[in-house]
Structure formats: C-alpha cells, structure tokens
C-alpha cells in the first residue's frame, strides 16, 4: 500500500512542477487560504488516482463539505501544501497524503518536488527521506538550538519564542508539512504555530515525525486526533524532543491561556 501512495503522490508532484510556471499557478487569497487553479488540478488528479487503487473514502483540503467524518478508515489529501509558495515561485511547497485509521495516520507520504525529497512513513516501520531512514537523536540537555518558520526572519509568536528560550539558530522554510518534515530530518529542533491547522495539514507529516522519534501536539501539548467536524486544531508544536515540547507548551499555556 505504501508503494502505491508513493507512486501517486510523486506523480502528482511532478505534474504540479510542470504547472508551476503556468497561469494555473497564479492564485488569490480566499479568507485565510491562498487558492490557485492548480489546487483543483492536483485535487482531481489525486482523487482519480486513489479511487482507482483503493475502495476508501477520501477527504481533501479542496472539499466544500465540513461535516464530521465518521469513517474509521480513510485517505486524507492536501493537493498543494504551501500554495502561496507554489504560486509565487518559492520552492517550499509539497503535495501529501495519509491513510487514517481510528483517528490516527498509519501511512503517509510527503513529496517536495522542487528539492526532489520524498518523505514517507508506515506506523511501526520507521520514516524515510528518499529511502534514507530518519532517526532523531535525543539530547541530554534538551536545549532548543534552532527553530523553523516561513519568514526570512523570526516574526510574531516565533520571535517571542526565540527571545524567551534564547534560540540561536533560525531556519526558513515553506509549507507547514515541509517544516514538520524538516524537524523529522533533524534540520530544526522546533516548529511552533498558534494558528489553527487542519487535519490535511498535519496527518502526513505527523507520522513521519513520530516514526523518526519526534513528537507533534497542539500548542497546549494535547494529542492530535483526526476527524472532528471542522477538522481544526489549536496550533501545533513539532519537536524531536518531548521535554522541549513540554517546556514550550507550558510557556504558551501560561502566557495565552
């Protein structure tokens, strides 16, 4: 099954790469989401491809319905995570999918076409980038040596965290899913967001991070569960270190409760 997921997501990413300099890459802001015609093209590609391989329900970021999803097993897709990056010619976008079972991801694939990085994981079998196993090393001192976000320099809540925890290194990256994968690969020690990410933002990269030995929770340190009515979560903390997650969530909870 993982092989079919990898094949479909890779094919979708390569299709999007060809569209990235086309008019279909152009987009507009709709409320708090940046949308492009390429989103719909990728959505249709993934729906058709997954339906041809699996007899399972599919949830997509591009779906209009937001009802509670009661199925215990389904595929969730994010056709383009980082649409603004895609439309403006930046490389930090991905296409991703996960198999959800009993409110948790059990198979996931994240493909970054611009850098040709294919991240994937199976529950209990580890996570990989281009077939190289990802294995995070735990530090004894639990120091936060680097943080990742999508601006050229730390801004907003990220800057507050940098200043409070005296974090010496900052890493810039694009899509939310890619930033979590960067934590999984050891490129950054912390990723924090106070916004409300949705199921399709988190499911695929969460499994990759956790199978590498890291942890992903909401901003208050609570477990992420999938399938709620609005499919949203109260922020996120991604870290290779559970102790770091606890320190950051405790700080945030006290400051913003």
> 3-state secondary structure string, 49-79?
HHHHHCCCCEEECCCCCCCCCCCCEEEEEEE
Structure tokens at 246: 């606890």
Q: How far is CA 214 from CA 182, 184, 233, in A?
A: 11, 7, 19
Domains and CATH numbers, the chain: 2-134 (3.30.540.10), 146-256 (3.40.190.80)
Q: Report the SS3 class of residue 162.
A: helix
pLDDT at 32: 46
Distance CA 77, CA 35 (A): 15
pLDDT tens digit at each of 257 positions of the chain: 999 999 999 999 999 988 876 655 554 444 445 456 788 889 999 999 999 999 999 998 877 555 556 678 999 999 999 888 887 778 899 999 999 999 999 999 999 999 999 999 999 999 999 989 999 987 777 889 999 999 999 999 999 999 999 999 999 998 999 999 999 999 999 999 999 999 999 999 999 999 999 999 999 999 999 988 888 999 999 999 999 999 999 999 998 87
């Amino acid at each position: 099954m993982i092989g079919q997921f990898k094949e479909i997501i890779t094919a979708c990413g390569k299709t999007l790469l060809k569209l990235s300099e086309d008019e279909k890459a152009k987009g507009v802001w709709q409320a708090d989401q940046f949308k492009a015609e390429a989103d719909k093209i990728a959505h249709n590609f993934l729906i058709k491809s997954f339906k041809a391989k699996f007899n399972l329900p599919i949830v997509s970021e591009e779906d209009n319905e937001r009802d509670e999803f009661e199925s215990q097993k389904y595929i969730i897709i994010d056709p383009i995570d980082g649409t603004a990056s895609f439309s403006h010619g930046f490389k930090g976008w991905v296409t991703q999918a996960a198999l959800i079972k009993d409110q948790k991801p059990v198979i996931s694939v994240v493909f970054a076409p611009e850098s040709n990085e294919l991240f994937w994981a199976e529950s209990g079998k580890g996570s990989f980038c281009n077939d190289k196993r990802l294995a995070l090393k735990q530090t004894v001192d639990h120091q936060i040596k680097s943080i990742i976000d999508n601006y050229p320099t730390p801004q907003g809540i990220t800057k507050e965290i940098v200043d409070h925890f005296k974090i010496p290194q900052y890493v810039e990256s694009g899509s939310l899913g890619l930033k979590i994968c960067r934590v999984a690969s050891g490129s950054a020690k912390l990723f924090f967001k106070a916004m409300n990410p949705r199921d399709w933002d988190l499911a695929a990269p969460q499994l990759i991070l956790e199978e590498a030995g890291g942890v992903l929770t909401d901003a208050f340190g609570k477990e992420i569960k999938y399938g709620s009515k609005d499919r949203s979560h109260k922020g996120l903390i991604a870290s290779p270190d559970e102790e770091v997650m606890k320190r950051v969530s405790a700080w945030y909870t006290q400051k913003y409760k």
